[in-house]
Each structure stands twice: as C-alpha cells, then as structure tokens.
Chain A
Amino acid sequence: MPTIDDFGSFETAWCPGCGNFQLLEAVKQALVASNIAPHEVLFVSGIGQAAKAPQYLNCNYFNGLHGRGLPVATGAKLANPALRVIYESGDGCTYGEGGNHFLAAARRNIGITALVHDNRVYGLTKGQASPTSQQGFETKAQPHGVFSQPFNAVQVAVAMRAGFVGRGFTGHTDHLADLIAQAIAHPGFALVDIFQPCPSFNKLNNYAWFKNNTYMLGDEHNPDDWEAAMKLASAMDEQIPLGVIFRNDRPAFESQFATADGKPHFTKQVETAALREVMGKYA
C-alpha cells in the first residue's frame, strides 16, 4: 500500500497562503486512497503556478506547454490505455489557452482525470484576468474591470456530457480528496474544478469569499440527473455547490476502438504478414 510519504515533499514556488498547498495534500490523499503507487500514474500539466504541482510529487510527469496539457494526456492515454493519466493545471491554461482542447476532451470522454486549479486569475503572469474571473474584477490589464462573461467550465462539461463533473474547494481538503478519488475511479473524462484562493493576485475571490459562497451538496442531488446538474452548475457567484455535480456511464473514448484490449499496441512486434496484406491492396 502506498503512503503519503511515498509521494515525497518538495520545496515549492508557491506564495504563502496559496490554496495549492491544500490541493497538493488532497491529491496525495486521493492517490493513497486509490491505492496508486508513484510509478503507476502519469501526471500531465501545462504551464502556470498550478501546472507546477506534479513537480512537487513523486510520480511520472510530463510538464508540457501552456494550454496544451490535455492533448498530451489524450495522446498518452490513447497510446497506453493501461496507464492512469491525470491532467492538472490552472484555469487560464485549461479554459483559456487550451479551451478548444477542453471542449474536445469532454466531448471525447477520454479516460483522463482533469484537476483544474480555479483561482479565477492568472497567477504566474502576475494577476491578469482569467476566463473564470468575475465581471468587474479589476487588474492592470482590465483597469475598468472585466467586461466578459466568465466561462462556466462545470456547466459546459455537463452540457457536453463529460463522464464525471465535480467541484471542490481547497478549504475542505478531506472532501476534496474524496472527490478526486471518485474522479480517478471514473473510467471516462472526469473534471474536478477546484476553487483555489490566490492570496497574491485575487483579493476579490479570497478564502472567505469562496467559503461564504459555496455549500456542500448532500444526498438531495442525484448526479445522474442531467437537467438537475445543468441547473446546479449554473451558479457562479453565490450558492455554488461543491461535490459531484454530474456523472454518466458513457463509454470512455479509448475503449471504443475495435482493437481495444486495454493494452498498448507498441509492446507488440510489427507483423510482417499483416504488412504484406496491407501492401497487397495496392497491387
């Protein structure tokens, strides 16, 4: 059985008071609870403060480009469906630069767990608006406040019928760890959008704001009910539910190929007879 200590502890580049610390703890707890050892998982991330998270974890990782983590994770999963692939990055990386990839991953229902640190701001580049920033949020780049409507990733994922859609908050680490473990156990695309206060650059949506404007979902919500999920997911500014918003058993993308046997093709030899047959079609 893996333990929390197996995942190591590292010096980080995060600011004191950053929600990322609790998020990292929750990820470790979820991995231990899911009985996953460090070498049994591949973390793929993009670029940003959030995207550094895998560097602070003993695991296989591919720390790719800003916005492009999901395609790397998709290629990894298609090439080796037996590998557990977890994507982890920020809201800017995932919903902004990588927005098209986010839509495509949800539509595909590719078997990846996506952990999105949602601090509603660009942290690494020091405080510009992100796609999830609230209207009116003032930054040096948006001195008159954000004009655009924030991107509701959770509702979009529900609309796309992603396999699993949840929302967590770093202020409730145990609840978050449990949510992540459920997402990991889900065979299709599993999004966990995670509220993560950024004490340096988002003074509007701070710890207290997230605490005051969220609540824990109880048994009254049935995550199999798409319409109820759509309705719940519409909350962005107050009364925002935390927990499993939506779940369905749509088959994972990679399981639908005719040749899918859960094993990677690349461990097999190139078959000369098959190649000859393929070439024969051109004679």
Chain B
Amino acid sequence: MDTNPRDDFNLMIAGEAGQGLATFGELVVKALVRSGYYIVVTQSYHSRIRGGHNTFAVRLSTEPISTSRDALDLLVAMNSDGVRLHHDELAEDGIALADEKLDAEGARLVKVPFGDLAPGKFANTAGLGVVAALIGLDQALVDDLVQEQFGKKHPETADSNRTALENGYAWGREHLPRAGKRVKPATRSSTPRLALNGNQAIALGALSAGVRFVSFYPMTPSTSIPLTLIAAADKMGVAFEQAEDEIAAINMAIGASFTGAPAMVATSGGGFALMVEGISLAAMTETPVVIAVAQRPGPATGLPTRTEQGDLELVLHAGHGEFPRALYAPGSVEQCFHLTREAFLTAEASQGPVFILTDQFLADSFRAVDPLEVEGLETVPVPVDAQPVALPYRRYEVTDSGVSPRLLPGFSEHLVQADSDEHDEQGHITEDHGVRIAQVDKRLRKLDVIQERVIPPDASGDPNPDLLLVCWGSAKGAVEDAAAQMRAQGHSVGTLHFSQVWPLVPEQFVPALEGAKRVICCEGNAMGQFARLIRRETGFHIADTVLRYDGLPLTPEYILERCCTT
C-alpha cells in the first residue's frame, strides 16, 4: 500500500435528510476551495424531507478535475445506515468515521466521541475539525470560515464554535491514522476561486447578462436557479415572482420580456411540459425568453431527485408549429455561466425562445471555479431608446435577416402590437395566405442568425482515433476522464463534446466522426437520443452507445466497463 500523500482524495458524507448534511457538505467544500483544492461534488438524495438517505460526495485534487470517483478514501457516516450502505465503497486504505454512540461496525471504522468534543448543537463544527485534520487543512483558515458562516448571525456562538473546531482538530490529529499525511497540500491561488454548483453558475451568468425578470414554480432540481437570482434580486435589480403554475411562469416571462426585461424561467421536465404552449407563443410573438430545463428521470414524476439526460427530444420539439430555437447543454460549471450568457444574447438576437439543458447532477455539483471576469461583459441590448424605424412602425416588418425592429410599449409614440394569431407586419390578426407565407419565411430566416452563433463541439484527445467518444451536456467530465484513462493505457481515443445540441452544423463535426475507426455515443438516457438526432441530421449512424438511466450520473468507471466490452 502506497502511504505517500496523494494528489487525489475522495470523501463522502452520508446520513439522513434533515441532519444538515448539505450544509455540512457545503462548509467542507468552501474550506477545500479556499485551501486551493479542485473539487467535484456529487449529491444524491431522496425527495423526502426527513428520513430519506442522502449522500454528499466530494472528490478533491491538487490538479484540475472534472468528474467524480467511486472508491472512497473517507466515509463520514452521520447515522448507522451511512456505515451499512457505503462501507463496501471504501478504498483499500480508506477509513470510515462515525459517532461512537451509533450502532455500527466495520473494518477501519473509527468511532469518534462527538459527545466529548462538543455539545450536540456544535457537533457538525467538531466534525468539520476532524475531517479538516485528516486532510490537513490549515486550522486558521477553517476557523475564519466557521466564524464567517455562523458568527454573523449568531455572535453568541462564536466561542462555542471555535472550541468545537479546536477539539475536532486535536482529536483528529491524535487518533486518525496518517492524519494530515494522506493528501498533498494544495497551492492557494492569489485570486480565490469560487465554490459554485451548476445552477448557481446559471444564475450568475444570467445576472451578468442583464436578466431583469425571473418567474418559476418550484421543481427539483431547477429551483436553486431562481432562488440564487432572488437572493441577488434587490442588489441587481431583478423583478421576480413565484407563479401559480408553470404555465403562468412562462407567460409572465414573456410578458416581462415583451415589455423590456430580459427574462428567464427555470423548471424540470414535468413543469416544462406545462410550458410548451408558451414556448410556441414566444416564437410566434418573437419575444426573447431563456428557459432553463434541469432534467430528472421521467416519465411523469419519475425519480424526482436523481439525474438523467432524457428530455433532449422533448425540449427540441416542444411547441406546436415550426420555428427556430437554440439549445445549449453546458458540460461544466464554467459552461453553465458562459452558455447562459450566450443564451440571453442569442434570445435577443433571434427574438425567440432559447433553452439551457442541464440536469440534477450538474445542477447540484459544486466545483472550484476560477474567478469569473465581470468587467466589460456584454449585456443584453434592451431596446429602450426608440431606434430610428421606418414609418409607420411595424413590429413584424419583413426583413432580409428575418429580425424585425423591436420597440418597447410605452417608450415612444409608436404602437407595439404582438399577436399569437398569424399576423401582418403591423401585428394585426390575418388569414391572408400570402402574408402567412411571408411571416413564416421571415421567422424561419432567423435560423441563420442562430446558426451563425453556433458553438462547435469541443474535441479532445487523439485526432482520427481508434475510438471516438461522443457526448453532450453534463456527460463531458466523465467521458473525457474515461478517454484519458484509456489513453494512459496506450489506446488511441478522442472525445467530442457538444455544448450546443441545436442547431447542428454538420461540417463542424461529421469529418471527426468519419475520421474515427469506431464511434460510441455516451448519454444519460435509455434511447440514445443524441445519437439518433445526429443520424437524422447528418445520416451518420453511431451504432454503439453507452447509456445510463438508473438515475445516477455517468462516471468514468461506468463508461470504461462498457466501452471495453461492447
């Protein structure tokens, strides 16, 4: 057994919903990121508020990482189920920690006398101390963090938290085998990184692009997008409302956007299904709107708290009638930020609905993110000033680009008239067949506006490889990691990740598909939806797939096992 400090360490906190596990996990995450580690968090939970079994896993590394690992170096069990259910996931030299009062047994299980370390209320702080001592985090840094988190709201707890942390550290250093010697220390960066999950990054991206309105109806795993926006709303000037249902949410966003506010909604599959008529309305009235769909397994209520990439076809086809759209599918937390910005700009440029497809895995996955540049970022150009327009003003003037001059109601004497019925250039209801054709063609010409902005897929690894792994959205990290492991074993492997899944521009990727000896599409769904889409659009048939639809995210181990046998 190699007992030298390693670059990489994998820990899991397991317990019951309602035990403050996520709060504890987020504290560990912040301590690690401040200490300079890169992280990937995988959260898994049942939708029951109390009593369900939850896990919060953090892989940390001194080097950039983009995916989780299965084998655990440390298991922190907050109840006896935590030990029972996860003990066999321990690596060869991994250890498990549990309160000595718990009824739990197992090899390399270390029992911690939490009752002696701190009174119950401060047990999590003592726990943080024990974990931090094992990893070898700087105590002053962790102490600052704890004071910051609890001290502001409850100054009277400052001393108790400090003592609990000290006791945790002291106990850990004394009793844990190889405490502080398991992981290499990380280098703290001069500009501190952010600890962000995918949904927070979507919200920050929206704020940076100038979002001014958000409406939503709560639905896991999308809710933290609006909640992040609302937390910043007063400071950033964002109007918001929890709508009576998803139908109201999308229609409110359309109303807000028509009036001038860059607007977004966030939902998951079932809620999105309710929004579908509204998507068509945004297209017909040519109203920009950004729709974030955080996928979870369906059909119907499915597995509410798990992950899947099963709604690509739903979102691609949602809305009756024919109209252009763009679908972004971020593969990392950074991409959540940047592609949300892109979504807002594309929505305004093409005056219609634009989608962001994420999923529970990415939504909840915290990562260490290099500080996001906020200076000089482009924001959505809101047409507040009545631009010079041809008179009489016609909201749906037929133009070469298909994009008509957009004015805002009440900002000039020009009347802005929008209609969900087919309409003439003015916006008046019509049944004239010639006008109908002109307006359909005008709307569809905007596909070129979207196409010009398409983000090409990202290639990594060997060019013209023996094996090309194709993926989209949140599968990026796992697929690229699996490919790297195969290359390390001497295989010729490349990857192709799509962070925009519609429209597809065949010239951007068909040569890469044709240049590989074998192509496998890796997706988090049962029907290989993206492989089918590529075949439909290009004729290229990706015969082999690695599909996962048990509710868990794709991992390198999962892909490697199946790539090598299919």
Contacts and interface: CB of A to CB of B under 8 A. Distances in A.
Interface of A: 38-40, 42, 44, 47, 52, 55, 58-65, 68, 70-80, 82-83, 100-101, 103-104, 257-259, 264-272, 274-279, 282-283
Contacts of A274: 235-236
Nearest to B412: A39
B119 interface: no
B412 A104 contact: no
Given A73-B255, A266-B260, A83 B409 contact: yes
Given A74-B255, A100-B244, A275 B429 contact: no
A34 B344 CA distance: 38
A38 B417 CA distance: 12
Given A38-B415, A75-B263, A104-B244, A276 B374 contact: yes
A268 B212 CA distance: 10
Contact of A71 (B33, B247, B260, B414): B247
Nearest to B192: A283
Residue from the set B207, B248, B260 with the largest chain A CB neighbour count within 10 Å: B248
A267 B417 CA distance: 21
A71 B251 contact: yes
Contacts of B427: 61
A244 to B, nearest CB: 27
A13 to B, nearest CB: 8
Contacts of A47: 420-421
Interface in B212-266: 212-213, 215, 232-241, 243-245, 247-249, 251-263
B200 A74 contact: no
B382 A267 contact: yes
B356 interface: no
A80 B260 contact: yes
A87 to B, nearest CB: 10
Given A64-B420, A75-B263, 16 more contacts: A42-B409, A62-B255, A64-B255, A68-B281, A72-B258, A75-B253, A80-B260, A104-B244, A259-B234, A266-B382, A268-B237, A278-B204, A278-B235, A279-B204, A279-B371, A283-B194
Interface string B421-443: 10000011100000000000000
Given A60-B415, A82-B410, A83-B409, A76 B248 contact: no
A184 B384 CA distance: 25
B210 interface: yes
Contacts, number: 195
Given A44-B255, A76-B255, A275-B236, A65 B420 contact: yes
A266 B415 CA distance: 19
Contacts of A59: 415
A279 B373 CA distance: 10
A65 B234 CA distance: 31
Contacts of A268: 237
Contacts of B196: 282
Residue from the set A52, A274, A275, A276 with the largest chain B CB neighbour count within 10 Å: A275
B375 interface: yes
Contacts of B263: 75, 79
* Interface of chain B, main secondary structure: mixed
B524 interface: no
Interface string B395-424: 000000000000011101111111111000
Residue from the set B204, B212, B247, B255 with the largest chain A CB neighbour count within 10 Å: B255
19 contacts: A42-B409, A62-B418, A64-B251, A68-B248, A68-B251, A68-B277, A70-B248, A71-B248, A71-B255, A75-B263, A79-B259, A83-B259, A104-B244, A259-B233, A265-B237, A265-B261, A270-B210, A278-B232, A279-B204
Interface residues of B, number: 72
Nearest to B245: A100
B194 A266 contact: no
A78 B244 contact: no
Given A80-B260, A259-B234, A65 B277 contact: yes
A7 to B, nearest CB: 11
A266 B233 CA distance: 13
B173 interface: no
A56 B46 CA distance: 54
B384 A267 contact: yes
A74 B259 CA distance: 11
B429 A63 contact: yes
Contacts of B245: 100
Contacts of B252: 71-72, 74-75, 78
Contacts of B277: 65, 68
B42 interface: no
B46 to A, nearest CB: 27
A61 B238 CA distance: 24
B243 A71 contact: yes
Contacts of A55: 419, 428-429
Contact of A265 (B238, B249, B258, B418): B238
Closest 4 CB pairs of A and B: A75-B255, A75-B252, A72-B255, A60-B409
A104 B237 CA distance: 24
Given A55-B428, A76-B256, A79-B239, A60 B410 contact: yes
B195 interface: yes
Contacts of A64: 251, 254-255, 281, 285, 420
B236 A78 contact: no
A64 B418 CA distance: 8
B374 A76 contact: no
A241 B366 CA distance: 61
A63 B421 CA distance: 8
B372 interface: yes
Contacts of A100: 244-245, 248
A264 B261 contact: yes
